[in-house]
Structure 1
Amino acid sequence: MSFNFKAFFVLLFSVSIYSQEITISKKILDAKFASETITIDGELNESIWETAQVAKDFTSFEPKNGTPIPEELRSEIKVAYDNDAVYIGAILYDNEPSKILKEITERDNFGTSDLFGVFINGYNDGQQDFMFYVTAANGQADCNFTSQDGEDYSWNAIWNSKVKITDYGWVVEMKIPYAALRFPSTDIQTWGINFFREVRRNRQKYTWNYIDNKIGAFSQQAGILTGIKKITPPTRLFLIPYASSYLNSNKEETTFTQKGGLDIKYGINDAFTLDAILVPDFGQTKFDNVVLNLGPFEQQFNENRPFFTEGTDLFNKGNLLYSRRIGAGPEFYPNLADNEIIDKFPSTVNLLNAIKISGRNNEGLGIGFLNAITKKTTVNIRNTDDGTSREAVVSPLTNYNVTVFDQRFNQNSSVTFINTNVTRDGSFRDANVSGLLFDLNTKANTYNLSGKITASSVYDIENKSGINSSIYLAETSGKIRYSLGADYVSKDFDNNDLGINFLTNYYDIFSSASYRILNPTKYFNTFRVNLNSYMEFNNTSNYIQDNNFNININSNTKKNHYFGLGFNARPFESYDYYEARINDRYLILPEYYGSWFSVSTNYNYKFALDVNIDYTKLNEPGREDYSLFVSPRYRFSDKLSLIYSISPNIQKNNIGWVDYLSSSDEIIMARRDRNTINNTLTGKYSISSQMNFSLSVRHYLSYAENNKFFTLQENGRLLENLAYNANKNSNFNTWNLDLSYSWWFAPGSQATVLYRNNASDFNRVINKSYGSNLNNVFADNLNHTFSVSIRYFIDYNQAKNWL
């Protein structure tokens, strides 16, 4: 990014939006060098803690923003450092220590527990914080925070902490190695820092440096840490070898496999880190919540593989990366003769290796580079007449690449260039997407201007190119806030080789306005009203593709119960260009109105309940949707808790695509009743914060019964078809169970034992009996998996001493 280019955007934004500068008061804390060894035991008995400067006088963040912390909850924090790490010692006073909540949970889960956190920005640029939390139960959580993307808890670092409950409150001692942070290579360090405390029993949150909630910026309101100087951080090289074994069994076969591999983390310099996985193993990742998908678009799944979730804030810029593309099912299906069948079609493609380089230098330039290679995958095609076989490629050797340059400036603004590229071996389709993004904020953080322009190119039998662009303006401070935005997407925009995008060939305009209270009232701790509008038009016809207007109210009471409700409407008919499954054909969708209501009781209580009710009435006779979500939870003790949820959904007289008759060029639609019920049970038993049992069970049942068939006419209306009588009903149910034991036996080192079983059943015969469906899914088709995996964290600086 050239200086002139950056200056252009700064000037553009300065001319577009002007606001009075707001001065943010910043406290200063001096860190003290520790010449002695600090043992992380929660005792604070080293001499350094007696002489280090104290950070105190915390201020309420919420709900009573800006009020001083009560004397009986005063907090005193000290910071020390040496050549290996920065150390935090915190004394958190509490005049009722018996009421300190301390539920034991797994990593990155706060549970119902008091909390202490430290937020560190090594560049003091107000852009990115590394946040480290410790619970009163000695649990750990960490995340990477940016103003643009918020908190990313998939990021994990290796650090130590210890908690002690005392008769005057609780004590926290932390050691955060420099390898877990990013800062410039200078003799004298000046860091942004803030300390955070939550007293869970009354949901009071406090910070050391005051954070004004009228300003829409969190990380820019940190204090300053000085005193760290002339440190010589050690080499950042970490090796994480793993070994795993899998026993898989079903009614057809039993197999045993073993895997081994290595993860590498290497600090190229103070700013940039290399992550690599060699012979990856994702066998213990969480199962996908598969549904009966009758719509025109694929189901989008969450990314559960650690390599693709940890520290990926740079790669997620512009929403151009859908990492589940890497190693997903084969992209191509071979052409078959009438007498040919495929013996077995693979569900995934093996990932050979992957690397990523990411970081940010002291000039605010962030660089990200991700590269992954998947294996060539073939299938065996058998001739049923003569028994001969042939091989066909369903996924060639493929290279996936993402490159990002993100320049930050003025503490709260950025300009980003991102490129994604997919190159396949041979004559298969290749793709390239490039995007330019900007996110600009006034110095006072009162207004935001953001947008993007993205261009895609696909190289196939027919090459095509397209663009995707947007512009967004928002007022981001005060009680009343508003926003206005627009998008334009051309017909041939396609980023689906490495991203995911459903809609093209449209333009839209959307707006919002909101009102919120900034401090508690007589009845509410928080209260917010939002009004939103959205209009979407087809580029070619200018017909309305979608429209929605809604008002929502969200609140938390003085007793920390959540209540919300909303009303929404589609006041105009819409032209759906996707349900028909044929280019330039559309289905006209009727107007609708609906409402929802939601309540969530205070999780501090042993028993809590979440309920959501949703109703939609469409402007067609008898067509309406109902949905209900009920989820009770019970915390038996600080170690044991269970959460159950049931969510039935009923769609009466729904309209959807069922078939295409190529002989007559007819699109067949059906009026159908669809019922869905989703049952889940999750639970945990924590022996300690390092040793946990967890349970996850899900049974999903959905059926769609077609009552009447129609031909979709050229004008988007339906004409009853009395001749079509094919059975296109759908009855699908699926079951998953995960029971796991996890033990963090050393920092960064984990042993996991997992038992999993799963099954699914699909047929065209409607079965409305829940019990019968559950029996069917268990009938001779359960897959069982038992696995053991061990990952061991090796720090090069310690390992070299072994030798």
Structure 2
Amino acid sequence: MIKCLLHSIVFLLFTSTILAQIDSVKVQREYVTKQLRAGEEITIDGELSDLAWDNISWDTDFTVFDPNNGETPSQSTKFKILYDQKFLYVGIRCYDSIPAKIEKRLARRDNFSGDWIEINIDSYNDKRTGFSFNVSAAGVKGDEFISQNGDFWDASWNPIWYTAAQIDDKGWTAEMKIPFSQLKFGEQEEQIWGLQLNRRFFRAEERSLWQPVSLDAPGWVSEFGVLRGLMNIQPQKQLEIQPFLVNQYDAYPSQAGNPFRDGNDYILNAGLDAKIGLTNDLTLDLTVNPDFGQVDADPGAIALDGFQIFFEERRPFFIENKNIFDYEFADGNDNIFYSRRIGRSPQGFATTTPEEFIDEPTNSTILGAAKFSGKTKNGWSLGLLESVTGKMYADIEDVAGNKRSELVEPLTNYIVGRVQKDFNERNSFIGGIFTATNRNITDNLDFLRSDAYTGGFDFKHNWKNRDYYVEGNIVGSHVKGSADAIARTQRSITHLFQRVDAGHVSVDESRTSLTGTGGKIELGKAGGGNWRYDGGLIWRSPELELNDIGFLRQADEIKQTASISRLFLKPTNFYRRANMELNQYTTYDFEGNYNRIQYQFEGFINYKNNWWTEVGAAHKPRIFSNTVLRGGPRWRWSEENFWYLFFGSDSRKKLSFTLGYVNSQAAEKNFSLARYVFRLYYQPFDAFNLSISSEYEENPNKTQYVTETNFNGNARYITGNIDQKTFSTSIRFNYSINPNLSIQYYGEPFISRGKYTDFNYVNNPIAEELSERVRLFSENQISKSTDTDNYLIDEDLNGVIDYQIEDPNFSYVQFRSNLVLRWEYIPGSEIFLVWSQGVVGAGDPSDTLGRNLDRQILGQKKDNTFLLKATYRFIL
């Protein structure tokens, strides 16, 4: 702990010597718009031929953002902005000296391919959030909600607006018509908004901006220019209702005698989404019986360390305005709100006999959800989400036709409330969050927590033109349930209170609640010049529990972090941009055990020809873990070194690729990792693109945890030498018939195989030498049963079997695919035709990955789903 504090003190002293720099001066450009005259109209055809455009002058003088920051662009750009009481109109002229070489790639919405132009609007004028509207030379639209001063761009935001583009002998032109109902602003005589225009000139991979921004700027939205002249426009309350209808047919291999697997099912489903503008600042989103059938399947994954796997949210209702509800309080994926908990797989299980068949639900039904969110002109960001998931039952039927049901997931209510307030001229904010999970627990599900509450407070302060910052947060959790539920929580891998050598935690079987805290404090330099640095402290107390509606991998940890990086922003004849970073961290538990230290170097270079290289290396001289033995004593890994190297070609080309290699080696060959990565992107013509991403991994480990057993009244922790190989490939293609009609395919086979040899038991878990940490079983001590395939252990060689180990070999196989026809037949209304395939199973661990791929995926009958979904968005 003392070493941790010394690191932080040294870092703060270093920081204090830098903070006396003089503020830089930023010249902020202004554009003054005009209102359309009575009777004037603008037709959105991309031609800029309407007479109304003649009533306002062009604004030009763009400057290069990247690569030659501050220079004059190789191609000029100019624009005009007009408005009426309901719409903002934008006309743009992108000059090109060789119009025939304009890159006009067709793609789905939000693809951002080829030449494009975008306008960013900070209608809140908070210098942290904005709305982005993008159109390519091919007429493909893109739109994103910008938050965290440009650190997060949410492409799931799909407002209704209108755009078109045309190519002519001078280059290309674009028009946009943006309803004020899709923007958020307060009621004022004159609206003053942040404004930026950003052009991508594809051939030179050049970005040029209307408002100049330095490459060393601390953010994006805070650097915008100003849009003035919007006089007496009335905020437009949004009211949209979008019902949907889904026809679904499932076909799968039938199972003889199984009434739940007769070969096919038909489902007719309907639901409703609505968006109601309570004010122009605040919106209420509603969903009733939502359908996510067209959403991509999760990628294949397997975890041998016992921890839960984090999956990205893909469901549109929960993605939109995610930034308001987000509360990443520490590092990694730890978050107070993890929306994948809503609609999760049922946590209960049914008891059956060998004569019974069972049909278990894969997900909990979301009966309804409501989300109130937005930001006021006074700088208040507000969010309130409530969702109810229904009771879920497993249906059971025996061979005689007798039926029954067992509850596997209770009726559950989730609430998330979030608030933030900007102040100090938008350079600072404070905020808070509250969540509640309440379950209607019945006797057979009393192992689940009945109630879970979390709360948090966060803040951030920027100064010196936002070049420097200090931020922090604190969170608290309180969970309640039966004694069984809380005992399970204490024993879960997140907590492991049963650790045999832990003096500061222990399992209390009588407890019915737990209360914990966590948080983070960080100070750093985010902009200005070529140097960046930060340092901080993170903690998670032993009783912190967030996994009812949040995500927490491991509690009981104190972590010190520090990093420093050097940016090379001025292009040379060799590179366009480069950076290097050094970082270090140490970890402790709340008993004071010094568990880990790591030093890491990372570097990146983008060459003059747009090829690139990324390299990194790390040294871990000290690695102790409280979780490896799943409640056993603290474990020591041999010291580790790892490095990686990735390089890739110019992503603008019709054919581009990435090759990567990751290598990790522990001392005494305790464990190792070799990962090979190959990614290919191919666009043979403008309307079609194909991408392939493959990974192959070998991950042997001489001390992979297998199980805990008992030997002469003492706990015995068994590990083994695992030879694990994993292969996955994701394949995607998109064919765009036009910007509103496309066909997309996604497919991914995933195979992971693990074979165990050289079983051993833990002798001295914190010994420096591997040979002292574990003892190998001799040939006389271990044999394999011919009846059960279990390993039989006669540890004391007295001729009597002391204990058995189940064969841990595995081969996990998964295949998921989606073929989607998407047609946006009018703005905001869509038809989806989906064909999904899937298979999950167990292969033969003695087979190679190739044989398992052939037998379990290519040669296996798959589950098929055919789905037709239609939506219509009513704008009232």
TM-score (norm 2): 0.85
In structure 2, stretches of 5+ residues that fail to align are 1-14, 255-262, 329-334, 443-448, 483-511, 767-772, 783-792, 794-803
1: CA distance between counterparts of 2:126 and 2:670? 58
Q: Identity across aligned pairs (percent)? A: 26
Farther off after superposition, 143-152 or 787-796? 143-152
Q: Partner of 2:488 in structure 1?
A: none
1: CA distance between counterparts of 2:372 and 2:22? 39
Residue 748 (structure 2) pairs with residue 748 (structure 1): no
Q: Partner of 1:326 in structure 2?
A: 342
2: CA distance between counterparts of 1:509 and 1:32? 54
Verify the 8 A CA contact 2:844 2:852 in the aligned structure 1: no
Deviations 1:588-615 (A, max 9, x none): 2111112111111102222211101111
2: CA distance between counterparts of 1:773 and 1:118? 47
Q: 1:769 to 1:269 in 2, by over 3 A?
A: closer
Q: Partner of 2:737 in structure 1?
A: 687
Verify the 8 A CA contact 2:727 2:849 in the aligned structure 1: no
Residue 28 (structure 2) pairs with residue 26 (structure 1): yes
Within 5 Å, give how 1:467-546 maps onto structure 2. 467-477=517-527, 478-544=529-595, 546=596
2: CA distance between counterparts of 1:106 and 1:762? 36
Q: Partner of 1:591 in structure 2?
A: 639
Q: What amino acid is the match of 2:106?
A: I
Q: What amino acid is the match of 1:144?
A: F
Structure 1 residue 547 displacement after superposition: 2.8
Q: Partner of 1:401 in structure 2?
A: 415
SS in structure 2 of the partner of residue 217 of structure 1: coil
Residue 670 (structure 2) pairs with residue 660 (structure 1): no
Structure 1 residue 317 displacement after superposition: 2.5
Q: Partner of 1:5 in structure 2?
A: none
Farther off after superposition, 337-346 or 774-783? 337-346
Of the three residues 327, 334, 345, the one matched with 1:317 is: 327
1: CA distance between counterparts of 2:95 and 2:87? 26
Farther off after superposition, 324-333 or 146-155? 146-155
Q: Partner of 1:777 in structure 2?
A: 857
Structure 1 residue 14 displacement after superposition: 13
2: CA distance between counterparts of 1:442 and 1:327? 42
2: CA distance between counterparts of 1:269 and 1:769? 57
Q: 1:731 to 1:243 in 2, by over 3 A?
A: same
Of the three residues 192, 206, 209, the one matched with 1:204 is: 206
2: CA distance between counterparts of 1:682 and 1:99? 27
Within 5 Å, give how 1:457-476 maps onto structure 2. 457-461=478-482, 462-476=512-526
Q: Partner of 1:6 in structure 2?
A: none
In structure 1, stretches of 5+ residues that fail to align are 1-12, 797-803
Verify the 8 A CA contact 2:124 2:130 in the aligned structure 1: no
TM-score (norm 1): 0.93
Structure 1 residue 719 displacement after superposition: 2.8
Verify the 8 A CA contact 1:147 1:412 in the aligned structure 2: no
SS in structure 1 of the partner of residue 533 of structure 2: strand
Q: What amino acid is the match of 2:125?
A: N
Verify the 8 A CA contact 1:19 1:446 in the aligned structure 2: no
Q: What amino acid is the match of 1:509?
A: Q
Of the three residues 396, 419, 422, the one matched with 2:437 is: 422
Of the three residues 190, 193, 209, the one matched with 2:192 is: 190
Of the three residues 65, 69, 85, the one matched with 1:65 is: 69
Deviations 1:396-429 (A, max 9, x none): 1101111001111222322110111101114652
Q: 1:380 to 1:238 in 2, by over 3 A?
A: closer
2: CA distance between counterparts of 1:681 and 1:339? 40
Deviations 1:484-524 (A, max 9, x none): 11111100100000011111101011111111112211211
2: CA distance between counterparts of 1:496 and 1:234? 39
Q: What amino acid is the match of 1:396?
A: P
1: CA distance between counterparts of 2:386 and 2:625? 37
Q: Partner of 2:161 in structure 1?
A: 159
Q: Partner of 1:737 in structure 2?
A: 817
1: CA distance between counterparts of 2:429 and 2:856? 54
Verify the 8 A CA contact 2:624 2:637 in the aligned structure 1: yes
Within 5 Å, give how 1:84-103 maps onto structure 2. 84-103=86-105
Verify the 8 A CA contact 1:587 1:712 in the aligned structure 2: no
Structure 1 residue 339 displacement after superposition: 8.3
SS in structure 2 of the partner of residue 50 of structure 1: helix
Of the three residues 776, 781, 784, the one matched with 1:720 is: 776
Within 5 Å, give how 1:153-302 maps onto structure 2. 153-252=155-254, 253-302=263-312
Farther off after superposition, 449-458 or 706-715? 706-715
Q: What amino acid is the match of 2:428?
A: S
Deviations 1:524-575 (A, max 9, x none): 100100111111112224131x332111110101111111111112112x22
Q: Partner of 2:787 in structure 1?
A: none
Q: What amino acid is the match of 2:694?
A: I
Q: Partner of 2:121 in structure 1?
A: 120
2: CA distance between counterparts of 1:401 and 1:175? 37
Q: 1:83 to 1:15 in 2, by over 3 A?
A: farther
SS in structure 2 of the partner of residue 777 of structure 1: helix
Q: 1:662 to 1:377 in 2, by over 3 A?
A: farther
Q: Partner of 2:12 in structure 1?
A: none
Q: Partner of 2:472 in structure 1?
A: 451
1: CA distance between counterparts of 2:544 and 2:805? 38
Deviations 1:350-370 (A, max 9, x none): 110111011111110010011
SS in structure 1 of the partner of residue 699 of structure 2: strand
2: CA distance between counterparts of 1:657 and 1:86? 62
Of the three residues 587, 598, 608, the one matched with 2:656 is: 608
1: CA distance between counterparts of 2:45 and 2:582? 51
2: CA distance between counterparts of 1:235 and 1:147? 25
Structure 1 residue 388 displacement after superposition: 7.8
1: CA distance between counterparts of 2:99 and 2:462? 43
1: CA distance between counterparts of 2:396 and 2:668? 48
Structure 1 residue 771 displacement after superposition: 3.5
RMSD between superposed Cα atoms in Å: 2.3
Verify the 8 A CA contact 1:14 1:442 in the aligned structure 2: no
Q: 1:459 to 1:514 in 2, by over 3 A?
A: same
Q: What amino acid is the match of 1:325?
A: R
SS in structure 2 of the partner of residue 202 of structure 1: coil
Structure 1 residue 147 displacement after superposition: 2.9
2: CA distance between counterparts of 1:389 and 1:244? 29
Structure 1 residue 764 displacement after superposition: 6.2
Q: 1:187 to 1:474 in 2, by over 3 A?
A: same
Q: Partner of 2:457 in structure 1?
A: 436
Verify the 8 A CA contact 1:220 1:411 in the aligned structure 2: no
Q: What amino acid is the match of 1:223?
A: G
Q: What amino acid is the match of 1:400?
A: Y
Q: 1:176 to 1:658 in 2, by over 3 A?
A: same
2: CA distance between counterparts of 1:404 and 1:622? 46
Q: 1:615 to 1:240 in 2, by over 3 A?
A: same
Verify the 8 A CA contact 1:568 1:595 in the aligned structure 2: yes
1: CA distance between counterparts of 2:824 and 2:398? 52
Verify the 8 A CA contact 1:127 1:412 in the aligned structure 2: no
Q: What amino acid is the match of 2:345?
A: G
Farther off after superposition, 215-224 or 767-776? 767-776
Q: Partner of 2:259 in structure 1?
A: none
2: CA distance between counterparts of 1:763 and 1:633? 31
Q: 1:78 to 1:333 in 2, by over 3 A?
A: same
Of the three residues 358, 365, 374, the one matched with 1:350 is: 365
SS in structure 2 of the partner of residue 313 of structure 1: helix
Q: Partner of 1:4 in structure 2?
A: none
